[in-house]
Structure formats: structure tokens, C-alpha cells
Amino acid sequence: MEGILFALLPAVMWGSIVLVSVKLGGNAYSQTLGITFGSMIFAIVMFFINKPDMSTVVWVVGIISGISWAVGQLYQLNSVKYMGVSKTVPISTGMQLLGTTLFGVIVFREWTNTTTIVLGVIALICIIGGVIFTALGKKGEDDKDENFKKGLLVLVVSSLGFIGYVVIVRWFEIEGWAAILPQSIGMLIGALILSVRHKPFTKYAFRNVLTGLIWAIGNIGLLLANPKVGVAVGFSFSQMGIVISTLGGIFLLGEKKSKRELIFVIIGCALVIAGGVLLGMTKR
């Protein structure tokens, strides 16, 4: 039971990040900067509570990974102004799952038997279908179509950042607890580099320190859950957060949806979650 509760933390926390950040206000630059400050505060505390073995490789790889995350988070938040939270999060999640999975299959040879191949292919079909359903909206609204195209392009950059954040740590086999502090430093460096010309030091940056703490709690939850319930369950549960973001965007932030759009977004979320769960089943 304790392991399941830990596994639910990433879903609840990460699923709330974009929602909370938008609610707290500010532009993507001040939001990202605030998030990185919050995550770094948490990382410093955790470093002294659970001090891992650190090496030069861990520091360098962790910082590069964190910079990549900053790119992913900034562009994800930027896409919200074009697409809204309820479209941004499920499409972003789908892109990240596709990217990390394909990289894992091609580079790390993760699918080694018939069962994992079948489950993986079905999962990818679900995820692609989920992204397509989520992307569907009203027809004949040129301004919305144009905004969607811009938002989608921004999300591609965002997803590349998030994929790099995950893959580089996996490539060098950096243990999760060891990566926390170096990654948080890289996140802050990346946020500063990307936002310095946009005057990010506003009250909204300070507000979003809370969002950073939320992100960090979700990250710790996943690290605590994996030894207790396994990577498969921990990974699968972490994908459930899109329900919070998507429905929160519609009902809490008041993003207007037609009946058609609402149905398609819900179907899309369900397919992405199903794909995430199936991918979790391919992990050992």
C-alpha cells in the first residue's frame, strides 16, 4: 500500500504542474525560472538527507540533463498560450512517450521477446491514436488552426528537451538519487540562459517556486516507488497525471470546449494513459 501511495505522487504532482503554474500567473520564462528555483531548494535539502556517491560524470551528465529539462519545460509552458492546458499536456505526454520508447527500443534494445514487442506496438498505436484524438477540434476556425500549428511546433521542441533529459541519464546509467542535485543545477542554468532577455525576475517567478517544489515531490515519489512496486507500476502510474491537467484546464481554468472537442480530448487522454500502462508492462 505504501508503494502505491508513493507511485501516485508523480501522477498527482506532475499532473498539477502546468495547471498550478498557469494559475499562479506570469509568462513561460518567469514560470520556468520559479520552478527551477523550487526544485533546486528541494534538491539541496534531499542531498543532505540522502547523500549519494557523486562523481565528475554524475555532475556533468546531471547538469546537461537538467538544461535539457529546462528547454522542455519552457517550451511546454509556451505552447499553452497557443493550445491551452487541456491540449498541451496530453499531446506533450504522448510525444514524450513515443520519443523515449523509440529511443529505448532502437538504442537500448528494451523489447527483447514477443510479449514485449506485441505490448509495445499496441502501446504505440494507443499513444499515436491518443495524440490524434486530442488534437482534433472544431473545423473551420482558421485562427485556432494557426495557433494549433504554432503550439504543435513549440511542443516538438519541448518534447526533444524532455526526451534528452531522460535519455542522457539512462545512457550514462546515472542512479536517480545521485542525479537530483546536478539536474536541479542544470535546470536553473538552462532557465537563466533561456529567460535572461525576457526579464523573468518578477513576482510570478517567486510564486512558481511552489510549482518547483511540487515537481520535486513528484520526482522523489517516483524514486521511492520504484524499489517497492517496480519500474513498470511506477512508470505506469506516473502517466495518469494528464487527467488532472486536462480536466483541470477545462473545468478549473475555464478553457472552452465544444461537446465534440471534450469527447475527443477525453478519448485521447484515455488512449495515452492506456499506452503508458502498456509500456510500463514492457519494463522489467
% pLDDT > 90, the chain: 61
Convert the pLDDT of each residue in 210-229 to its tens digit: 999 999 999 998 888 877 87
Task: Provide the b/e sequence for 271-282 (b: ≥16 CB within 10 Å).
Answer: bbbbbbbbbbbb
Higher pLDDT pick, 143 / 200? 200
Q: pLDDT tens, 144-163?
A: 678 989 999 999 999 999 99
Confidence (pTM): 0.92
State which residues form the domain around 56.
2-281
Provide the domain count of the chain.
Answer: 1
Banded pLDDT at 187 (limits 50, 70, 90)? very high
List, for residues 5-14, the tens digit of each pLDDT value.
888 899 899 9
Model confidence pLDDT, tens digit, residues 45-101:
999 998 898 999 999 999 999 999 999 999 999 999 999 999 999 999 999 999 998
